[in-house]
A and B are shown apart, each in its own frame.
Chain A
Amino acid sequence: KAGVTQTPRYLIKTRGQQVTLSCSPISGHRSVSWYQQTPGQGLQFLFEYFSETQRNKGNFPGRFSGRQFSNSRSEMNVSTLELGDSALYLCASSLSSGQLVLAKNIQYFGAGTRLSVL
């Protein structure tokens, strides 16, 4: 079974540009979460999608947005890039989220997209 796939692996952008990152979850997984990882802050939650609906959003500005498609693939978009957006963006998928069967909530991560903003 293929794991979580994130594309692209690396991106270099300049301030003011926008970027779209893609995440294909493990087959059968319907929940996709996005995290930003920086050396000082660790993993910060961005948002979570389930069946094309965003169910939770972290404390990030509106420049960060996302969506999920009917096949559970997800994209996140960052507009008007700032230097501080340079980070590793990780996507994680799980069978579900918030279910009583807690093992279904285990998140499996992709390798991430390393974004550098110059």
Chain B
Amino acid sequence: EDKVVQSPLSLVVHEGDTVTLNCSYEVTNFRSLLWYKQEKKAPTFLFMLTSSGIEKKSGRLSSILDKKELFSILNITATQTGDSAVYLCAVGTSGTYKYIFGTGTRLKVLA
């Protein structure tokens, strides 16, 4: 059965800290991995990763995929209180027209 596991489940840090969120997967016919940020209701898209070793970067956020070891990490540097959210990882597979989501990592950044 296809599975996506995120760790840690929750994390509390102080402003300015750097955090690393993990997403590991076991799926058949991997196609892509997506990261989302969910603050209140609607998850907002952050990154799509398809190739190993190519870092995607947006401001203080960056992400990379390792298709050999079947995981991805999301890094947030110099965290701010506005980074407090649930971060979701989703994996798409070929031919199934769906994404499999992890349960998310809840990040709380204290001022």
Q: Of the 9-residue stretches B17-25, B55-63, B69-77, B93-101, which lies at the interface with chain A?
A: B93-101
Interface residues of A in 73-118 (CB under 8 A from B): 88, 90, 97-98, 102-103, 105-112
A110 to B45, CA, bound (A): 12
Contacts A35-B101, A43-B101; A109 near B96 (Cβ below 8 A): no
- B interface, size bucket: 20 to 34
A106 close to B95 (CB less than 8 A):
no
B53 / chain A contacts, CB cutoff of 8 Å: none
Chain B residues near A41 (CB-CB < 8 A)? 103
- For the complex, give the distance between the alpha carbons of A105 and B50 in Å: 12
A44 to B4, CA, bound (A): 12
When C-beta atoms are compared, the residue in chain B nearest to A114 turns out to be: B41
Residue from A31, A45, A55, A110 whose CB has the most chain B CB atoms within 10 Å:
A45
Verify A90–B96 contact, CB threshold 8 A: no
In angstroms, how far is the closest chain B Cβ from the Cβ of A19? 18
A106 near B42 with CB under 8 A, answer: no
Q: Which residues of A contact B97 (CB under 8 A)?
A: 31, 33, 48, 50, 55-56, 97-98
Is A58 interfacial (CB-CB < 8 Å)?
A: yes
Decide: A102 and B31 in contact? CB cutoff 8 A. Answer: yes
- Tell me, yes or no, whether A62 is within 8 Å of chain B by CB: no
* CB interface residues, B 54-111, toward A, < 8 Å: 88, 90, 92, 94-104
Q: List 9 A-B contacts (CB under 8 A).
A: A3-B42, A33-B97, A41-B103, A43-B88, A45-B100, A48-B97, A107-B45, A108-B45, A109-B42
